Amino acid sequence: MMHLVTPELDEGPPVAYCTFPIRGKSFYRYWKAIEGLPVDEVKARQGERNLLFMQIRKHGLGREFPLIVATIKAFSERRVRIEEGQVVDSAGKPIDGYDLTEEINKKVGGMPVK
């Protein structure tokens, strides 16, 4: 997710984003490993060392640079703009971020390799 810059890091409104599934072949064994465990317990015991967390982070990082480039491109093509401090689409309609999922998936080939 790309945020509108504010004094607080990553606290501004979303400008652009992409999504990806966290279920399926690449994640199955990691979900299985924590099946039945309370989320609070997994967070307390493993935190960011949790293998599922690391796998999700890996897939997110694989999209980070393509998302930065695609966001800049979307701005240059005026598909997304900032008007009076608000994120708007090409028609000037306020939006909660511009969805670049399809574009990013084409760049990364869907999901990064296991």
Q: How does DSSP assign 3-32, residue by residue?
A: E---SSTT-SPEEEE----S-STTTHHHHH
pLDDT in tens, 71-97: 999 999 999 999 998 999 999 999 999
User: What is the per-residue pLDDT for 113?
Assistant: 45
Q: When comparing pLDDT for 77 and 114, which is higher? A: 77
pLDDT in tens, 23-36: 999 899 999 999 99
User: What is the per-residue pLDDT for 114?
Assistant: 44
Contacts of 66 (CB under 8 A, 6+ apart): 104, 107, 108
- pLDDT for residue 59 is more than 80: yes
- pLDDT for residue 100 is more than 80: yes
pTM: 0.82
